[in-house]
Amino acid sequence: MTVETRQPTIECALAHVDDEIDHVRAERDSFEDFLDRLDTIQTNGRVTPRTDGNHAVVTSLEASAPTELQPIRRAYRETVMGVSHYEQEYGDTLRESLTVELGETVATYVMDGQILSPMVRDTLRKATNQCLAEREDFLRLLRQESGSLDAIANELNELEARVVEIGNRIDATETSAQLARIGEKLQRTEQRCTALANRRQKRIHSRENISLSGVDSASLSQYLYTDMETVTPALADIASCIETIRYLRIRCLH
């Protein structure tokens, strides 16, 4: 008879990761759309820029000129701020979003400037491309995490099915020698569970921290699973399996 097992904490974690992948993919696409819109907006040469470090700074504007940054603001609202989860996840203002994503200098250009110069547009494009690169890197980490959780769930299902099979023999066993052999099989299975937990621990400690605009440096587990009962869902399901094994091993001693 096939033993059906499941890993509820890992399943919940996978749902969190899948949601995050959907959100980050939508954000990546929105920045691509913003870049496309940016390339269609005309620039004006009536600005004399200077550079300050890595940023361009506007030093002169025609005060009476009508603003040419309004199309930029509209494009940003309709693309980056237009993703379906934006209000629920962020809910910040245009200036706040520009500052978080593209930097304070760029936000000042867009919100307070009047003329869109080629230098300003190039700065906008560079900052937006950085956001795109961050989302691509984050998507890579999320896909790796999803694959890792899937692999652990599959291995843990196999181990738990083995535990159930071995444990079912206890009640039908009549001699202490037979119980001792069952206990040894359970011990070996526990060792495999412990090795699985150690591999997961090593992966958690060795992977990269998040580098994403607006997100403080934090481990991926803390970022993804902070709303769950545990930020180490795979380890929680492994620990549950080990607890069951130890209970059965104690039964083998009586």
pLDDT tens for 206-237 read: 876 666 665 655 688 888 999 999 999 999 99
Can you give the chain as a three-state secondary structure string? CCCCCCCHHHHHHHHHHHHHHHHHHHHHHHHHHHHHHHHHCCCCCCCCEEEECCEEEECCCCCCCCCCCHHHHHHHHHCHHHCCCHHHHCCCCHHHHHHHHHCHHHHHHHHHCCCCCHHHHHHHHHHHHHHHHHHHHHHHHHHHHHHHHHHHHHHHHHHHHHHHHHHCCCCCCCCHHHHHHHHHHHHHHHHHHHHHHHHHHHHHHHCCCCCECCECCCCHHHHHHCCCCCCCHHHHHHHHHHHHHHHHHHHCCC
pLDDT of 48 above 50: no
Highest average pLDDT, of 12-16, 68-72, 112-116, comes from 12-16
Mean pLDDT of the chain: 87
* Encoded amino acid at 8, one letter: P
Q: Is the pLDDT of residue 3 over 80?
A: no
The pLDDT score that the predictor gives to residue 218 is 62
Stretch among 48-57, 117-126, 198-207, 221-230 having the lowest mean pLDDT: 48-57
Pairwise CA distance, residues 207 & 46, whole Å:
48
Residue 133 has pLDDT above 90, yes or no: yes
The pLDDT of residue 213 = 62
Using pLDDT thresholds of 50, 70 and 90, give the confidence band for residue 63: very low
44 band by pLDDT with thresholds 50, 70 and 90: low
pLDDT tens for each residue of 152-177 = 999 999 999 999 999 999 988 889 99
Instruction: Determine the pLDDT at residue 205.
Output: 85
Most confident of 12-21, 61-70, 112-121: 12-21
Q: Does residue 1 or residue 78 have the better pLDDT?
A: 78
pLDDT at 54: 46
pLDDT at 60 over 80: no
Percent of the chain with pLDDT over 90: 72
Name the band, by pLDDT with cuts 50, 70 and 90, for residue 122. Answer: very high
Please give the pLDDT value at position 232: 95
Res. 59: pLDDT tops 80: no
- Does pLDDT of 66 surpass 90? no
